[in-house]
Structure 1
Amino acid sequence: MTEFNTVLLENNAGIATLTINQPKSLNALSSEVLSDISAAVDAVAADTSARVLVITGAGDKAFVAGANIKEMLPLSPEEGEALSKLGNDTFSKIANLAIPSIAAVNGFALGGGSELALSADIRIGSTAARLGQPEVGLGIIPGFGGTQRLSRIVGIAKAKELIYTGKVIKADEALSIGLLNQVVEVEELAETVEKLAKAIMKQAPNSVAASKEAIDKGIEMPLADALTLEAKYFGEQFAHENQTIGMTAFVEKGKPEFK
């Protein structure tokens, strides 16, 4: 286990788990926490044994309850913009990782906590999960990617509704709008996330990485350009030995042992 001041990082057989470890503050995102998350994600990116990143919060109440309001209160406009850039740069590191990421939302995920979850590829919530962007009630707006990633995931109209009202929604509603991929009982969350991570790890890692990149880049392109990009990545897989391994195993009715 790698320890930072405010987060924990552990790699268990290829599953890297990043835990925001500030339960007394409900894992609130201060600038120090954001810096530690950034450093931890850098460590995951450099770890060639890491195949999936899981992000969660310590304790049984919160994933991340939001940003540190006391720290933000006296900020100037320039300092506020700098904090937003720190948050966005940090969460973009997660979104841009070559390996898939899963947010295990184990409680409150509000403001910056919701934005942290949005930066992951997949979000699994417990029945205790509560998600929302309540920033307008504080006289600010979502600043760590909420106005952009939320609309891309749940649609513009629903994102505007949630952001304009500051509404906090329960896990079942988050599931119904596509904000969560799955909802499970509190005691089943860790096992469910581990099973999902292991299912991903059974696949060809180069193909998973290429699929992630094709989706993330393609969504920003016109469809015709995105399909051209997909064809490029598809073709590139045939230069990798895992394509031969996977297809040979399929033809011979065996199980592939991917490199």
Structure 2
Amino acid sequence: MTLSTLNTLLTKREDAVFTVTVNRADKLNAFNPEVLSELNQVLDRIEKDETLKVVIITGAGEKAFVVGNDLEQLAKLDPVAAYEQMRLGQRTFLRIHEFPKPVIAMVNGYALGGGFELALSCDLIVASEKATFGFPEINLNTMPGWGGTQLAAKKLGLNRAKEMILTGAYYPANVCAEFGFINRIVRHEQLERETMALADQLAEKAPFPLKIAKEAINKGAELGLSDGFQFEAHAYAVNYSAPHTEEGFAKFLNRTK
């Protein structure tokens, strides 16, 4: 296991799994530009390292995953600076959404505003029974700005997204279970173990099929059904040309024999 510390992030490597922890527990892990900058630096490193196969993102402490933007900093921005910061956050979360390796959000507490957007940008969400989700921005006379209006509509459905964004209410994990965006809800003390078990399961797979299958799923959500089928067929053919496909078939056929 390899540990390292940046100004706002902790990182940990265990075999092929890389965990990134937002380390501002005194601020409930609220984002600021430095967090976004360091997160992008870490993603650069993970993307280039072919031995890393799965990413886990979480927050430090027992109270919060991430509670969104640092409001003290955000309140000082002028409209131009606010736009630029929203675009920076959007680019970062879109990068996570399209990242070539699976990304798991390990939600240990409050996932609010930008924290909820971060979780939704990940491929999978494993949530503690103590986790809470919400978009409180409307209570501040503003709205989600890091992709929340788009990600929520795609992952929760239009009506649920409107309810959560327009009411600004908080929803505990057990209520969110029926919303469909959480993959697993686990006992709080088992959160890390259950998340690592899922990450290890993914890490056993060949990297390229994981990458191209994720891309096909994402594209299918953006395209019409016919175009999505066409993209899937092309993706299948590209993957079929790689040696790991023949190896996978041979392994299965030898086992059945």
Which range, TM-score by smaller chain?
Answer: over 0.9
Amino acid across the alignment from 1:127: E
Give aligned pairs, total: 254
Distance 1:91 1:2 in 2: 23
Report deviation, 1:178.
1.1
5+ residue gaps, structure 1:
255-259
The equivalences for 1:15-54 within 5 A come to 15-54=17-56
- Out of 178-187 and 30-39, give the one that drifted further: 30-39
Distance 1:95 1:169 in 2: 23
Q: Which residue of 1 aligns with 2:76?
A: 74
The equivalences for 1:74-223 within 5 A come to 74-223=76-225
The SS at the match of 2:222 is coil
Report deviation, 1:56.
0.3
Q: Which residue of 1 aligns with 2:57?
A: 55
Question: Residue by residue, what CA displacement relative to the aligned partner does 1:95-115 show, whole Å, maximum 9, x if unpaired?
Answer: 111000000000000001101
Identical aligned pairs, as a percentage?
Answer: 36
Question: Residue by residue, what CA displacement relative to the aligned partner does 1:193-245 show, whole Å, maximum 9, x if unpaired?
Answer: 11111111222221111100111112111110110110011112221111111
5+ residue gaps, structure 2:
none
TM-score (normalised: structure 2): 0.96
The SS at the match of 1:190 is helix
The SS at the match of 1:252 is helix
The equivalences for 1:231-246 within 5 A come to 231-246=233-248
Distance 1:36 1:204 in 2: 28
Amino acid across the alignment from 1:235: A
RMSD of aligned alpha carbons: 1.1
Amino acid across the alignment from 1:55: I
Distance 2:8 2:232 in 1: 39
Q: Which residue of 2 aligns with 1:230?
A: 232
Distance 1:232 1:159 in 2: 32
- Out of 123-132 and 199-208, give the one that drifted further: 199-208
Amino acid across the alignment from 1:68: D
The SS at the match of 1:131 is strand
